[in-house]
Amino acid sequence: IVDGVNQLSALGLVRSEGLEVDLLADLTERWVLNLTYAYNDARVLDAGTNGITNASGDRFANAPRNTFGLWTRYDLPAWNSAIAFGADYVGERVS
């Protein structure tokens, strides 16, 4: 904090490894389903000289390890419309 104002400083080095999987299915002629999953292992490799010096090896802030998603849509051709629903889950994040 300088003169009462928070200052941001870049970290030295962060590594992110993971995978994403998307499954899209036409369950019927009118019903579509989309499922998603992502795994992310984001780690601070080097906090640098201006960062939090004890952060090396820790998880990177605000990067969830797991996320899940669901989206579905059902067409209503008689009304020239559709209904849809979607939801996301975001796992625990370090702040």
Q: pLDDT tens, 45-62? A: 877 766 555 566 688 878
DSSP-assigned letters across all residues of the chain? -BTTB------SEEEEEEEEEEEEEE-SSSEEEEEEEEEEEEEEEE-TTTS-GGGTTSBPTT--SEEEEEEEEEEEGGGTEEEEEEEEEE-----
CB 82 within 8 A of CB 54: no
Question: Is 0.85 topped by the overall pTM?
Answer: no
Query: What does the alpha-carbon distance between residue 16 and residue 65 come to, in Å, rounded to a whole number?
Result: 10
Minimum mean pLDDT among 12-26, 37-51, 63-77: which range? Answer: 37-51
pLDDT at site 10? 66
